[in-house]
A = this chain, B = another copy of it.
């Protein structure tokens, strides 16, 4: 009957074993680098697997050892995110993968549908046990997901800090440092009336940004004026709207800090419609840099960082909390505030001479 193993479609490890005339257990051990297998046979097995294109069925493996070798990155892609996130996630993903791939871990992105509650979505994903560990992003000020993941005992890390005091690992951009640096610089140039744009305070970014803003002003003895905090979307449209509101103010600010570089496009447009020249009549500083900042006119002063490296850090922090990998990364601190550096442009270059 069995008269020679033509390279058939390859159904599983069993066929591979038959083809080699070896027991299925040995084949498995050979493929997985277990010690108790002759190097000679291991070579044969690996060669045959390569030739026949055998790759272990993930479901079978997962079922047996309760592990999937997949890490999930949950992203919300809320309307707001779609508008502004740019390639934030894809860039961070690159950093994550450069670490994970060393451990034969695959990264998949789990985009929560618009019409589904992120918490419910996450619950589903956790229950399905499709991933070994999770990275969640766009953390909220109060985020039930932390409890969910802790209770499910699934390793996770967050892209975005936690304000609820829990001790899970996270990495986040240094909003506080950025806002301090920006305000120091503007004050040094003579500005006293500085507006700021921020998203809703429910989002960590919005909350921390405005808090840092308040403290920085206080440090310089400048009174905090709520009217100068403008909640807007982090898009061109949002920037346009920020400018619109600023122009309506009686005591118009001389400087504005934007939460995102894209907003500058809309803001430039709006103020120029009123004959106001950015970089001459109003100083503009933006938080996160994207490649287009330097092509704006005037070039935007903003803060830069390597999102790729941030991804690396995030990956290492996650692995350090996974028992199977922690021995390699245990030295890592578990919560990182990621620094950014100032890229001076021309949008805030002028020095204010008139004192108010």
Contacts and interface: CB of A to CB of B under 8 A. Distances in A.
Contact of A292 (B70, B89, B109, B262): B262
A113 B101 contact: yes
Contacts of A115: 98, 101
A135 B299 CA distance: 39
A57 interface: yes
A129 interface: yes
A266 B240 contact: no
Contact of A82 (B75, B94, B265, B292): B94
Number of copies of this kind of chain in the complex: 2
A93 interface: yes
Given A62-B59, A292-B262, A94 B113 contact: yes
Contact of A129 (B58, B106, B125, B129): B58
Nearest to A101: B113
A291 B90 contact: no
A97 B236 CA distance: 26
Interface residues of A, number: 61
A93 B292 CA distance: 25
A60 interface: yes
Interface string A99-123: 0010000111111011110000000
A318 to B, nearest CB: 16
A55 interface: yes
Nearest to A89: B90
Given A59-B59, A128-B55, A82 B77 contact: no
Interface in A169-195: none
Nearest to A110: B108
11 contacts: A57-B128, A82-B91, A82-B94, A83-B87, A94-B114, A97-B111, A98-B114, A98-B115, A108-B110, A265-B292, A268-B297
Given A70-B130, A265-B265, 15 more contacts: A56-B128, A58-B129, A72-B108, A77-B90, A77-B93, A81-B90, A83-B291, A94-B113, A94-B114, A101-B113, A101-B116, A109-B110, A239-B295, A269-B296, A269-B297
Interface of A: 53-60, 62-63, 68, 70, 72, 75, 77, 81-83, 85-87, 89-91, 93-94, 97-98, 101, 106-111, 113-116, 124-125, 127-130, 235-237, 239-240, 262, 265-266, 268-269, 272, 291-292, 295-297
